[in-house]
Every structure is written in C-alpha cells, then in structure tokens.
Structure 1
Amino acid sequence: MKKLVYVLFLTITFIGADAHDHDASEYASSLKNQKAVLVTGASSGLGLAMAEKLAAEGFFVYAGARKKKDIEALSQKKNMQGIRLDVTIQADIDAAVATVKNAGRGLYGLINNAGVAVMEPLIEVSEESMQFQMDVNVFGPYRVTKAFAPLIIENQGRISTTSSILGVTAGGFTGPYSMSKHATEAFTDTLAAEMKKFNVHVSVIEPGNYNSNVIKAMRSRMQKNIDAGKSSRYQDEMNSLEKYFPADRSEFKAPDEVAAAAWHAMSSEQPKRRYLVAPVQKEADWAIRGTLERLVQLNQDHQFSHSQEALIKLLKGIMAVDGNGNP
C-alpha cells in the first residue's frame, strides 16, 4: 500500500512538473509572438492615441510618461505598461531599456513621439528656450533610438518619429519648433539609410493640427513671458498666433488618423517613409505647396537648372516608385 501511494505521489509530481513546464513554455511563446512597441510621450494627445491604437491591435505597448499618476493610469490599460521615461534624462532611458530587456518580450517597434513646442521670433527667443526645444525634440529621439537600437535590430523591427507639417515647411514665428522638426526629417532619412542593412524600416509621421496638449503648454510658456514683462517687436503678430494655435484644442479633431498612421508604420508589410496626416485639405496643400516652392527656389537660375519639362519628367519618374525607392 505504501509503495502504491509513493508511486502515485511521484506520478502526480511529474504531471505537475510537466504542466508547469508546459505553462511556462506557453507563456514564453506568447511573449515571443506578441510584438512589443515603445511609445514615448504617451500620457496624452497623439502619444496616448498611438499607444491605445497599437494595444487595441494586439501589440504590447510600453507607454513612456514622466508623472507617476500617468504611469499608473497607462498600466491599467490592456496590453500596456506605463514606464517612467523623460527623454532628456539618460538615467530614465537606461532604466527603460533594462525594464524592456527584463520583461523578455524584446522590442519590435519604437515611436519617438515625446515633443514640445516653442514658437517665438528667432531674434527674440532666449537661448534657454531654444535649448529646451532641441533637447526634447532633437536630442530626445537621438538618445532613445541609440539606446534601443540593439533590441530593434535584433527583431528587424520598426522606428518611427513624430514630426509635423512644420517639419516640411516653415513660416514666421514658428522658428524653434520648425527647426526641431526639420531636424527630425533629416534624422529619419539618415537613420533609414543606416538601418536598411539590418532590415529595420524607419518612418516619420507629419501631423497637422489635431487635439493635443503640446500647444496648450506652449501658450502657457508664452504667457509666462508676458507676465514677466517681456515685450516683443512682434506683439501683434504673436497675438495672431492664437488664431492658428489656440490653447483650447477641443474644437480640433481627435488624433485618430495620426494613431492609424502609427499603426500602419508598425504593422504594414509595405510601410511608408513619410506619413503626412492633415485634418483638412488646406493644411495638406500648405505642406505640399511649401515643399514645391522650395524645389522651385532650389532649381532657380543656376548652370544646372532644369526646364519645366525636365522637372515634370523627373517628378513622373519619382512618382513611378514608392516612397522607399521600390517600383
């Protein structure tokens, strides 16, 4: 009888061990099969919309935020984990890398979305404000991409960065912000060329005016300048910015179209290099026309200028291939 009990004990133990191993194997397999994406600046606006869209489509999302309450709120969402990530603090970035590595999922995608906006006349903006603008919008993606590149390369994944229609054209009083987004465009094209050998696709998303908090924060900083008694030679013009960039964004469209572009960039078999996402025709036309005006200026009056016919032929040739150079 004792022998029978002992045999049953061993059998149950082995079955339990097998079941445990099987569960562990299934868990490990699920981690491997569910692609993970990191989204910076995911606490609100465009970043939150992107994170929620990707999570809803089955990605596991590491949602970067700076405030504890935002991190906790993000972690309550399905397929999402909020992580502390200030893109200007290297220690935060290093800790985020360790968190992702320790989770065992690897990292398939990175969306550099965290950003700020400084819009002031270039001859009046302070160096401190200019450094703040560049530290977040330019050095932020550089730092984060550099830190996570080995994980992305290992998974032959995707990298996308949020630019703006002001990254392909520019106008008065948007200088610091537009400069930072033009840098994002160059960052994208250079990174795409360098990551091609690793089968990592790189893209950029160029939104127009959607409902987000970035302009609200910008207006708050501008108000501080006014409260501090800082005068401007362009006061009338700066006041008119409220018409185009109001602090209250509730009348603007929710950034669902921007989120859809991010999802396409992370999931499509044929992702695009550039995703111009405008809420209205006027904004799309402004960006495209501004780009064409630069082309005309670039071609104007030099020994290698093209004729109108030659430019049209060149344009047709470029349009015959996709944005990644494929027929």
Structure 2
Amino acid sequence: MHRVKLFIFTIAALLFSQAALAQAPGKQKAVLVTGASTGIGATLAEYLSQRGFYVYAGARKEEDLKRLEAMDNVSAVRLDITKQAEIDAAVAFVRAQGRGLHGVVNNAGVAAVGELMKISEEDILWQHDINILGAMRVDRAFLPLLKESKGRTLVIGSLSGFVTGPGGGAFSMTKFATEAYAETLAMELAGEGVKAGIVDPGSFRARGRERVAIKMLTGEWDLNAKLTPEQEKIIAGVRATEDKRKEPIEVAEQVYHFLTSDTPRVRYMASPDKKTVDMVYRAALRRIAQLNASQPAYALTRDELVTMLDELLVEEASGGK
C-alpha cells in the first residue's frame, strides 16, 4: 500500500511539475498564428495550444478575439496583416510577454473567384495584398524575434499553387507565388539560423468558400451579410457541402512537424484524399514532361528522368539533406 501511495504521489508531482513548466514564460515555446478566427487557423490554434505551445492567435473581429482569449495557452492578438501598425503592435505585445517566439505560422489568406479576363483588378490586388504581401510583412516584422530564438516561420500555401482551373486563376496566382516565397525564404534565412517552410493543404473544411459564395451573390465579403430567401438556400447548399469535408487535422499535424522536428522540411503536403494527391502529382509531372518535350536538343531520356527522380526520392527520404 505504501508503494502504491508513493507511486501515485510521484506521478502527481511529475504532472504538476510538467504543467508548471508549460506555463512558465521563457520555458514554453510560443508561436504566432495569423488568421486564427476560423477554419485552418482556428484548428491550428487549438491543436498547437493543446500540445505544449503557447499560441498568440491573430484575428480581426472582437467576437473572435474574445473566443480565442478564452482558450487555454492562448492569447488573442488583434492583427490585420494589411495594417503595418497592427503588425508592429503585435510584435511589441509578443516581446513584452517574455516568452520569446519560436515560430510564425502565416495562415491568413483570402480567395476570390472569377475568370481572369473578367475578375476585377481590385479583387486580384486584394488577394495578393493578403496572401503574399501579408505574410512578408509579418515575417519581416517578427524576424528579429525569430533570429533570437533560432526559430522558424511557415506559410500556409495551397495545392492550388500546383493545380489551377477556370475561375480559380487569380487565387492560384497568389499560391504559385507563395511557393516561390517560401522556397526562397528558406534559402535566404538559413544563414541566420531561421528555418522557413510551407504547408500546402487541399480542400478541408473552412468558411472561405462560403465567403466567396456570399461575395458572388451580394458583392460583399461579409459572412453576416443580409441574404434573400433564395440566396439563403444557395448558401445552405454551400454549407452542406462544406460539412462533408474533413476537418483540417492533417494540416495541423504537418505544421506541428515543421515546428518540432530537428530537421523540418521546406515543403509539406496535406491532402484530404488520394484522388487529390494523384491530381497534384500528375500536374507537377506534366510540367516536367512539357518542358522536356519543348527542347529536344537537350531533352532527357525516360531512363535519365527516372534516375533523377530516384535520386530526389532518396534525398527527401533522408530529411531533405
């Protein structure tokens, strides 16, 4: 009986010490997640905060900030990534907390649908301002903190950065650009001891598509926009379709790996199903085939292409070294 009591006491003491360590500023690694109000961002804030990280969750609306603030191991931060003043205020807030900053997860993003020859220039520039320049603004502002911690920064891309289609070109343009941003940043920051990468999700459950549908119906981006009965029916259909999609847990798992691995990868894929994987790989390989066929004087043979692929598979399997 004495041994049982001693064992229980030891376990309780261990759990208490781990909990105390997790809450102590400077001991618990902190990360910033932008666009944490809904969808992937909200899942990331919850997932990371439940697995040892202290999360600074960026959002714009008061109701979202209050909800995030109520979560354990989370501090809500008012953050519109198009406003430099709010970014600078977020940096000052994070620094004042005394935890340092291990990582930045640039999740905030938007989408607008329309044929390239018809979509407004305003909608195109809006997407670029948030999806590309927004991440760059945040990374530039928080880089001093990341240098201090030898931390890492990640951007949430999209498989639309590999596959596109009619009506989705303007969004895909930003996500193709995000691939270049993350890959270049990883090379440029390596000498600073800061790691950079990108996670490319497929179509998981989110409210972005509902927002796009409302914009197409009303001309407004407001999820709370007043709708006619007919419009309500259309949006109900969009929501029903969205409810069938998977929660973005695979995205959170990939982000967690990037933040915790000793050898994080530059690029991660988070697909909801094998069909999407096949589509993305075929699109990427088709570009190689098109390039190879376009200049026969220097084209690689099938065997040379296969050898190159085998070498790259071995390289990535070893951690990308």
Classify the TM-score, shorter chain.
0.7 to 0.9
Which residue in 1 is equivalent to 2:260?
Answer: 267
Q: 2:246 aligns with which of 239, 244, 253?
A: 253
The CA deviation at 1:45 is: 0.6
1:97-112 equivalences under 5 Å are 97-112=91-106
Which residue in 2 is equivalent to 1:238?
Answer: none
- Relative distance call for 1:120 and 1:279 in structure 2 (3 A) is same
Which residue in 1 is equivalent to 2:156?
Answer: 162
Which residue in 2 is equivalent to 1:280?
Answer: 273
Secondary structure (helix, strand or coil) at the match of 1:118 reads coil
- Relative distance call for 1:29 and 1:74 in structure 2 (3 A) is closer
Aligned length in residues: 285
Residue 61 (structure 2) pairs with residue 90 (structure 1)? no
Residue 182 (structure 2) pairs with residue 188 (structure 1)? yes
Task: Write out per-residue CA displacement over residues 56-75 of structure 1, whole angstroms, 9 at most, x where no aligned residue.
Answer: 01100000000011111101
Structure 1: gaps spanning 5 or more residues: 1-25, 227-241
Which residue in 2 is equivalent to 1:52?
Answer: 46
Which residue in 2 is equivalent to 1:313?
Answer: 307
Larger Rg: 1
In 2, Cα distance between equivalents of 1:49 and 1:301: 44
Residue 171 (structure 2) pairs with residue 177 (structure 1)? yes
Q: 1:40 aligns with which of 34, 45, 49?
A: 34
- Relative distance call for 1:323 and 1:131 in structure 2 (3 A) is farther
Which residue in 2 is equivalent to 1:113?
Answer: 107
Q: Is the 8 A contact 1:272 1:324 kept in 2?
A: no
Secondary structure (helix, strand or coil) at the match of 1:320 reads helix
The CA deviation at 1:246 is: 4.0
Which letter maps to 1:257?
E
TM-score by length of 1: 0.83
Q: Is the 8 A contact 1:272 1:323 kept in 2?
A: no
Percent identity (aligned) = 39
Which letter maps to 2:42?
L
- Relative distance call for 1:77 and 1:325 in structure 2 (3 A) is closer
Residue 208 (structure 2) pairs with residue 214 (structure 1)? yes
Structure 2: gaps spanning 5 or more residues: 1-19, 221-233
Q: Is the 8 A contact 1:116 1:136 kept in 2?
A: yes
In 1, Cα distance between equivalents of 2:238 and 2:283: 23
In 2, Cα distance between equivalents of 1:173 and 1:28: 46
Q: Is the 8 A contact 2:264 2:319 kept in 1?
A: no
The CA deviation at 1:221 is: 1.1
Secondary structure (helix, strand or coil) at the match of 1:142 reads helix
Which letter maps to 2:162?
V
Which residue in 1 is equivalent to 2:68?
Answer: 74
In 1, Cα distance between equivalents of 2:318 and 2:27: 27
In 2, Cα distance between equivalents of 1:131 and 1:265: 30
Q: Is the 8 A contact 1:61 1:79 kept in 2?
A: yes
Which letter maps to 1:158?
R
- Relative distance call for 1:199 and 1:259 in structure 2 (3 A) is same
Which letter maps to 2:269?
L
- Relative distance call for 1:37 and 1:181 in structure 2 (3 A) is same
Deviating runs (4+, > 6 A) in structure 1? Answer: 26-29
Which letter maps to 2:69?
S
Which letter maps to 2:92?
A
The CA deviation at 1:326 is: 4.1
Q: Is the 8 A contact 1:219 1:247 kept in 2?
A: no
Pairwise CA RMSD of aligned residues? 2.1
Secondary structure (helix, strand or coil) at the match of 2:85 reads helix
TM-score by length of 2: 0.84
1:223-262 equivalences under 5 Å are 223-225=217-219, 246-248=238-240, 249-262=242-255
